[in-house]
Chain A
Amino acid sequence: MPRTVKMKVFRGEKGEGAIHDYNVHIDDGMVVLDVIHRIQATQAPDLACRWNCKAGKCGSCSAEVNGKPSLMCMTRMDSLDLEKPITVEPLMTFPHVRDLVTDVSWNYTVNKRIKPFKPKAKEADGTHRMFQYEVDRVQEFRKCIECYLCQTVCHVLRNHGKHEEFAGPRFMIRTASLEMHPLDVEDRVPFIKEEGGIGFCNITKCCTEVCPEHIHITDNGIIPMKERVADRYYDPIKMLFRVLTGK
């Protein structure tokens, strides 16, 4: 039902700023991003936000709606309590740029540290054979749209600011997607233990809950990777073997 709602939007630069109030007329079926666009077009043309696809496919429009990290383009207004004002704020875990835009470049830096895909040789007939059941898991991880909502909610980053020591859930599953790739021959277990800091994760599963692609980040990605790390580094028989053989 068309009506007027009260929006409270954070405006400002580099962390300095305040919540601004806007009264906006909304129509049926609108999402939060539509309302932000309407504010831009009619009340605040310089209101900064990121978006591209408006269909949950590009991961650009992440923001905190009523305190919950969300994709603005997939959050319908009628899913919110419109009797109360709706707050929209930038992601808290990354440095602020302007209004709803944050500096997410740290994520690109982390990604670059992960060793690239290294395929094994092709079969004699010049093809690579992989079966659907072998790639289902990898495909699940590759659905990631890099919205960084999981990075935003993870307390290791959000509350403890361990950006230097912990790669975050997005890059745990990115590493897992390479490690579980049937064709890949690279070894990233040392990375995920040391630089990636997988030990910081205490399996709270907040990342999984927020993922708009419904990737089972913890159960399917992080826990199996923790097992690989444990097998490699803490398995007493394997450790003994390594000591004896020098491997």
Chain B
Amino acid sequence: MAQYTTHDFDVLVIGAGGAGLRAAIESAALGAKTAVVMKSLLGKAHTVMAEGGAAAALRNADDRDSWETHFRDTMKGGKQLNFFRMAELHAKEAPDRIRELEEWGAVFDRTPNGLINQRNFGGHTYPRLAHVGDRTGLEMIRTLQDKLVHMAAEIFMETTVTHLFKTSDKICGCLTYSRVTGEFHLFRAKAIVLATGGGGKAFAITSNSWEYSGDGQALAWRAGAELMDMEFIQFHPTGMVWPLSVRGTLVTEGVRGEGGVLLNKDGRRFMFDYIPEAFKNDVAATEKEAEQWVAEVAAGKLATVRRPPELLTRDVVARSIRAEVQAGRGSPHGGAFLDIATRRTAADIQRKLPSMYHQFKQLANVDITKEPMEVGPTCHYMMGGVKVQAENGMSTVSGLFAAGEVAAGLHGANRLGGNSLSDLLVFGRRAGWGAAEYAKTASAPSVNEAEVAKAIEENLASLSRKGGENPYAVHKDLQDMMQDNVGIVRTEDELKQALGALDELEKRVDNVSVEGARAYNPGWNLAMDLRSLIVISRAVTLAALERRESRGGHSRIDFPSYDKKYSKVNHVLYNQNGQMALRADALPEVSPELKPFVEEA
């Protein structure tokens, strides 16, 4: 008989980043019996690492801004593949969500007249990102966690979900294990909110931590929920490239927001050579115009000219850096130079970008107030994820909700910087509300014991298996394979190879053995994460194969431009008797009042 402890809740939130915490706050405030589980300790989720800021049309730094402009920018950045209703709700509600954080104790940087200050970021027409130096995520997660701990919600740290359960097609609970003891816990819940973040650990070069194995997307898919837009992966243009051990670690876009420029090895400011047609009118035509923009912004004035091309959307900048490197004009360690030292005073840099200063000084022996940084693309964010309803975050499975990076729809083919932190607040709250409302009328959940026993057996298999492979070796091979074949640029052949390789890797995952016991055993934990990584890697590859065009975070060498055929479809991945199947869904038609703000793509 398998041993486990059972807990009962109305709403169980999986994940304690911004989305999960905001969902739990809402659910608890509405009186639902709420719990939050997470893989790490409270306050350590990915959200803590976010640097640049949270986008909201507060109109504090530039009153020409409006929710309509934010909506337009988000759709344009997403190449019009976004669920327009999500982009609309997000643009309308983000300002209130940010002000609410202030009401809960957050201390954002201030404008000269004492309001929340806002900075420029790629793809945003006006300075829009509420921020705290370059540690905005820390401020956000701390504020939310301190709010939640004083509410009636239970918190289970280092507790990882491995299986979701359903009865008569409705969600009814999940199996977890405690990292510390290795013991199993069953949570019965009327509603579950997935707020598990992304899956960047499928790639070799990434800004993501060990937690990002795509568990939420995989759990949802296995439970029969649909995934969407999985081909779109954001490769952030500026990750560290050297030393090798920190390759992939993020360099905030805030560096460029503060005036940093990208140079190739010949000192040429190459972004002027890569401005796409659709953005020609939005960016400076000359270095002189770009300089003027930086001077105005640095002086705290409203910009009267167009922004530098370094602030084009991330997909464009990442591809441009890659092209320079391919053409033999890269920096010594295979990236580009990012220079802020010659643009701003040392004092400004240390005040505006303190953690970047620190990070380079400590990890790379580079003083960014004196020398340029070396940067290159790094896997950063998944635009795709669980397909949800805009209003309440419910997936296609009753009682299963999703919010934050694990959900799809808001960002379309490419996410604008700063739109994630605001996404977490807007849709975290909505999913928390949706789950609490749903739980009100849902019946008390019961979970089939045989299913629990089977799930536990699956989890324990790697511990009892002898002579199998080392999970770390399998993980490394998966990451290298995905990086090579499904990375920043893709081709039909490589994607097909990847599908074959995934079949092989899946077999290897099913044959890993781990040493030691269950208590705090990272090898065993990784063995379980690998199962999720296979699911999301397959979803990304299948969707990428099917989209024979280039758009946003999906670039095909064999189909380098937009194709109208794909301009109004989302790829949906669903579970067909345990196999992953794909279908193309037509995008919802944009409502007439919003039509004026969207452009053809």
Q: A52-B209, A58-B44, A119-B103 are in contact. Are A132 and B524 (CB under 8 A)?
A: no
How many chain A residues touch the partner (CB < 8 A)? 58
Contact assessment for A29 and B521 in the assembled complex, using a CB-CB cutoff below 8 Å: no
Contact assessment for A142 and B520 in the assembled complex, using a CB-CB cutoff below 8 Å: no
Interface string of A100-132 (1 = CB under 8 A from B): 010111001001100011010000000111111
Contact assessment for A54 and B209 in the assembled complex, using a CB-CB cutoff below 8 Å: yes
User: At the interface, yes or no: A246 with Cβ under 8 Å from chain B?
Assistant: no
Q: A49-B522, A53-B209 are in contact. Are A31 and B48 (CB under 8 A)?
A: no
User: At the interface, yes or no: A69 with Cβ under 8 Å from chain B?
Assistant: no
- A44, A58, A145, A184 — which one has the most chain B CB atoms within 10 A of its CB? A58
Q: Which of the four size classes fits the interface of chain B?
A: 35 or more
Chain A residue with minimal CB distance to B106?
A: A142
Contact assessment for B110 and A131 in the assembled complex, using a CB-CB cutoff below 8 Å: yes
Question: Within residues 468 to 489 of chain B, which ones have a CB less than 8 A from any CB in chain A?
Answer: 470-473, 476
User: At the interface, yes or no: A225 with Cβ under 8 Å from chain B?
Assistant: no
Contact assessment for A51 and B107 in the assembled complex, using a CB-CB cutoff below 8 Å: no
Q: A59-B44, A112-B149, A129-B114 are in contact. Are A98 and B520 (CB under 8 A)?
A: yes
Contact assessment for B363 and A52 in the assembled complex, using a CB-CB cutoff below 8 Å: no
- When distances are taken between beta carbons in the complex, the residues of chain A under 8 Å from B517 are 46
- When distances are taken between beta carbons in the complex, the residues of chain B under 8 Å from A42 are 472
Contact assessment for B243 and A29 in the assembled complex, using a CB-CB cutoff below 8 Å: yes
Q: A29-B243, A135-B110 are in contact. Are A60 and B40 (CB under 8 A)?
A: yes
Q: A28-B244, A45-B516, A53-B49 are in contact. Are A74 and B113 (CB under 8 A)?
A: no
User: At the interface, yes or no: B385 with Cβ under 8 Å from chain A?
Assistant: no
Contact assessment for B363 and A31 in the assembled complex, using a CB-CB cutoff below 8 Å: yes
User: At the interface, yes or no: A138 with Cβ under 8 Å from chain B?
Assistant: yes
Contact assessment for B524 and A46 in the assembled complex, using a CB-CB cutoff below 8 Å: yes
Contact assessment for A129 and B115 in the assembled complex, using a CB-CB cutoff below 8 Å: yes
- When distances are taken between beta carbons in the complex, the residues of chain A under 8 Å from B110 are 130-132, 135
- When distances are taken between beta carbons in the complex, the residues of chain B under 8 Å from A44 are 515
User: At the interface, yes or no: A146 with Cβ under 8 Å from chain B?
Assistant: yes
User: At the interface, yes or no: B41 with Cβ under 8 Å from chain A?
Assistant: yes
Chain A residue with minimal CB distance to B359?
A: A55
User: At the interface, yes or no: A89 with Cβ under 8 Å from chain B?
Assistant: no
User: At the interface, yes or no: A27 with Cβ under 8 Å from chain B?
Assistant: yes
A96: min CB distance to chain B, Å: 11
Q: A46-B515, A74-B362 are in contact. Are A58 and B245 (CB under 8 A)?
A: no
Interface string of A31-61 (1 = CB under 8 A from B): 1001000001110111111111111111110
Selected from A41, A60, A98, A129, the residue in CB contact (under 8 A) with B41 is A60
B357: min CB distance to chain A, Å: 11
In the bound assembly, the distance between CA atoms of A58 and B48 in angstroms comes to 6
- B49, B110, B470 — which one has the most chain A CB atoms within 10 A of its CB? B110
Selected from B146, B243, B522, the residue in CB contact (under 8 A) with A28 is B243
Interface string of A1-44 (1 = CB under 8 A from B): 00000000000010000000000000111110010000011101
Selected from B138, B473, B523, the residue in CB contact (under 8 A) with A143 is B138
Selected from A29, A48, A178, A181, the residue in CB contact (under 8 A) with B244 is A29
A83: min CB distance to chain B, Å: 21
User: At the interface, yes or no: B575 with Cβ under 8 Å from chain A?
Assistant: no
In the bound assembly, the distance between CA atoms of A143 and B66 in angstroms comes to 31
A240: min CB distance to chain B, Å: 35
Contact assessment for A29 and B245 in the assembled complex, using a CB-CB cutoff below 8 Å: yes
Contact assessment for A97 and B520 in the assembled complex, using a CB-CB cutoff below 8 Å: yes
User: At the interface, yes or no: A242 with Cβ under 8 Å from chain B?
Assistant: no
In the bound assembly, the distance between CA atoms of A31 and B243 in angstroms comes to 10
Contact assessment for A52 and B515 in the assembled complex, using a CB-CB cutoff below 8 Å: no
- When distances are taken between beta carbons in the complex, the residues of chain B under 8 Å from A46 are 514-517, 521-524
- When distances are taken between beta carbons in the complex, the residues of chain A under 8 Å from B363 are 29, 31, 55, 74, 76
Question: Within residues 346 to 369 of chain B, which ones have a CB less than 8 A from any CB in chain A?
Answer: 355, 358-359, 362-364
User: At the interface, yes or no: A139 with Cβ under 8 Å from chain B?
Assistant: yes
Contact assessment for A178 and B107 in the assembled complex, using a CB-CB cutoff below 8 Å: no
- A47, A54, A111 — which one has the most chain B CB atoms within 10 A of its CB? A54
Chain A residue with minimal CB distance to B141?
A: A58
In the bound assembly, the distance between CA atoms of A145 and B107 in angstroms comes to 15
Contact assessment for B249 and A54 in the assembled complex, using a CB-CB cutoff below 8 Å: yes
Q: A29-B245, A60-B41, A97-B520 are in contact. Are A135 and B107 (CB under 8 A)?
A: yes
Selected from B44, B113, B244, B362, the residue in CB contact (under 8 A) with A60 is B44
Contact assessment for A29 and B246 in the assembled complex, using a CB-CB cutoff below 8 Å: yes
B491: min CB distance to chain A, Å: 31
In the bound assembly, the distance between CA atoms of A145 and B102 in angstroms comes to 19
In the bound assembly, the distance between CA atoms of A31 and B365 in angstroms comes to 12
Contact assessment for A111 and B245 in the assembled complex, using a CB-CB cutoff below 8 Å: no
Contact assessment for B244 and A129 in the assembled complex, using a CB-CB cutoff below 8 Å: no
Chain B residue with minimal CB distance to A131?
A: B114
In the bound assembly, the distance between CA atoms of A165 and B129 in angstroms comes to 42
- When distances are taken between beta carbons in the complex, the residues of chain A under 8 Å from B157 are 105
In the bound assembly, the distance between CA atoms of A29 and B363 in angstroms comes to 7
In the bound assembly, the distance between CA atoms of A59 and B209 in angstroms comes to 13
B150: min CB distance to chain A, Å: 5
In the bound assembly, the distance between CA atoms of A178 and B147 in angstroms comes to 13
Contact assessment for A130 and B210 in the assembled complex, using a CB-CB cutoff below 8 Å: no
- When distances are taken between beta carbons in the complex, the residues of chain A under 8 Å from B574 are none
Contact assessment for A99 and B114 in the assembled complex, using a CB-CB cutoff below 8 Å: no
User: At the interface, yes or no: B83 with Cβ under 8 Å from chain A?
Assistant: no
Residues of B bordering A, CB below 8 Å: 40-46, 48-49, 99, 102-105, 107, 109-110, 113-115, 132-133, 135, 138-139, 142, 146-147, 149-150, 157, 180, 209-211, 242-246, 249-250, 355, 358-359, 362-364, 470-473, 476, 514-517, 519-524
Q: Which 8 A-B pairs have the closest CB atoms?
A: A29-B243, A46-B516, A45-B523, A117-B105, A129-B114, A41-B472, A48-B520, A98-B520
| Interchain Cβ contacts under 8 Å between A and B, 25 examples | A27-B244, A27-B245, A29-B245, A31-B363, A45-B470, A45-B516, A45-B522, A48-B522, A49-B522, A51-B210, A52-B44, A55-B249, A56-B358, A57-B48, A57-B49, A60-B40, A60-B44, A74-B362, A101-B520, A111-B146, A117-B105, A119-B105, A129-B113, A130-B107, A135-B107
